[in-house]
A = this chain, B = another copy of it.
Amino acid sequence: MKLASVKAGRDGALVVVSQDLGRQLPTGMTLQDALDNWADTRPVLQDLCGRVNAGEGEPFDESACASPLPRAYQWADGSAYVNHVELVRRARGAEMPESFWNDPLMYQGGSDTFLGPREPIVMASEDWGIDFEGEIAVVTGDVPMGATAAQAAEAIRLVMLVNDVSLRNLIPAELGKGFGFFQSKPSSAFSPVCVTPDELGDAWNGGRLHLPLLVSYNGALFGKANAGVDMTFDFPTLVAHAAKTRPLGAGTIIGSGTVSNKDADGSPGRPVAAGGLGYSCIAEIRMIETIEGGAPQTPFMRYGDRVRIEMCDESGHSIFGAIEQQVSAPQ
């Protein structure tokens, strides 16, 4: 099943979307409603899904979409690509403890005001170091406290893409205070469409999504790291981590952290222009530039800069639609 929330009120209007993203059919509910009562709503949605894939429905318009959950009761973001964590920490002069390879890193994000996938990233200052982070996320049903990874796997309802907007220049001082991110992680945006894991076929395997995440920056391909590669912790492990000391409510969103692949020889990846897989955020290329030339060259995002995040199936069709956002000043 492919699902989207067309903009309407605070929670959007849930539609089922055809596999080719061409058509939609209304469902009469919100995505949170559907997740709250999944046993009852899933068959209803599946029936609608069969109909939209058979040719019923109205044209689907990605730009009319809110994030699948325009607001959510929980957004927790892991850092499963430990390669990325190591690079970003090295970039700000922080060492990475060995335990990071065994104990998932996860932060609690703000979930009350997500951006739509085509909405601008409005920031009061370019000096905050505006960066995108291309990620994968899952949406869960209810997860009991202390769930095992196997139980957590059963609770994964949906998969989608994320732009976890980060304000790099606010991070060092904020993390230095010891309480984690807050102002340095403004509203995130999610792909127009979220899909059930079965919709991904063989690409969903071992709790990971084995396809390249396509990140373009100002019209040029910036990254194509495979989300199934170098993902140290799979999604069931991340969900179980989140549920260790409390249950997770239906509609909880758990992110993968920035998708990042090492180069074939084990060194940090090269830019796309140099034949590498590139990067899913600016901070990583700045790190590579620092390693190679002593200082970062690529600036963070400025007003007018555009990022596009998408994933295609093996025949080149967009699975989730595209996140496409431009940085802009407050009006």
Residues of chain B within 8 A (CB-CB) of A123 are: 245
Q: How far is the CB of A10 from chain B (nearest CB, A)?
A: 6
Residues of chain B within 8 A (CB-CB) of A111 are: 73-74, 111
Residues of chain B within 8 A (CB-CB) of A107 are: 108, 179-180, 182
Could you tell me the dominant secondary structure of chain A's interface residues? loop
Residues of chain B within 8 A (CB-CB) of A10 are: 36, 249-250
Q: How far is the CB of A70 from chain B (nearest CB, A)?
A: 9
Q: How far, in angstroms, from A164 to B276 measured CA to CA in the complex?
A: 47
Residues of chain B within 8 A (CB-CB) of A113 are: 246-249
- Pick the residue among B103, B122, B246 that contacts A186 (CB under 8 A): B246
- Pick the residue among B71, B183, B246, B249 that contacts A249 (CB under 8 A): B71
Residue of B nearest to A171 (CB): B178
Number of interface residues of A (CB under 8 A): 54
| A179 near B182: Cβ-Cβ < 8 Å | no
Q: Is A175 an interface residue (CB 8 A)?
A: yes
* A182/B112 contact (C-beta < 8 A), A97-B177, A145-B122, A330-B146 known: no
Q: Is A106 an interface residue (CB 8 A)?
A: yes
| A108 near B182: Cβ-Cβ < 8 Å | yes
Residues of chain B within 8 A (CB-CB) of A241 are: 183
Q: Is A109 an interface residue (CB 8 A)?
A: yes
| A245 near B73: Cβ-Cβ < 8 Å | no
Q: How far, in angstroms, from A183 to B246 measured CA to CA in the complex?
A: 8
Q: Copy number of this protein in the oligomer? A: 2
- Pick the residue among B73, B122, B247, B248 that contacts A72 (CB under 8 A): B73
Q: How far is the CB of A137 from chain B (nearest CB, A)?
A: 15
Q: How far, in angstroms, from A41 to B64 measured CA to CA in the complex?
A: 29
Q: Is A101 an interface residue (CB 8 A)?
A: no
Q: Is A110 an interface residue (CB 8 A)?
A: yes
Q: How far is the CB of A73 from chain B (nearest CB, A)?
A: 4
Q: How far, in angstroms, from A182 to B73 measured CA to CA in the complex?
A: 15
| B105 near A179: Cβ-Cβ < 8 Å | yes
| A246 near B74: Cβ-Cβ < 8 Å | no
| B180 near A251: Cβ-Cβ < 8 Å | no
Residues of chain B within 8 A (CB-CB) of A103 are: 177
Q: Is A317 an interface residue (CB 8 A)?
A: no
Q: Is A225 an interface residue (CB 8 A)?
A: no
- Pick the residue among B106, B112, B247, B251 that contacts A251 (CB under 8 A): B112
- Pick the residue among B94, B128, B180 that contacts A180 (CB under 8 A): B180
- Pick the residue among B128, B245, B247 that contacts A167 (CB under 8 A): B245
| A183 near B71: Cβ-Cβ < 8 Å | no
Q: How far is the CB of A199 from chain B (nearest CB, A)?
A: 25
* A177/B110 contact (C-beta < 8 A), A36-B10, A186-B246 known: no
Interface of A with B (CB < 8 Å)? 10, 36, 71-74, 76, 79, 94, 97, 99-100, 103, 105-113, 122-124, 128, 145-146, 167, 170, 175-184, 186-187, 241-242, 244-252, 330
10 A-B contacts, Cβ less than 8 Å apart? A10-B249, A10-B250, A94-B178, A105-B178, A108-B110, A108-B180, A108-B181, A112-B248, A113-B249, A178-B180
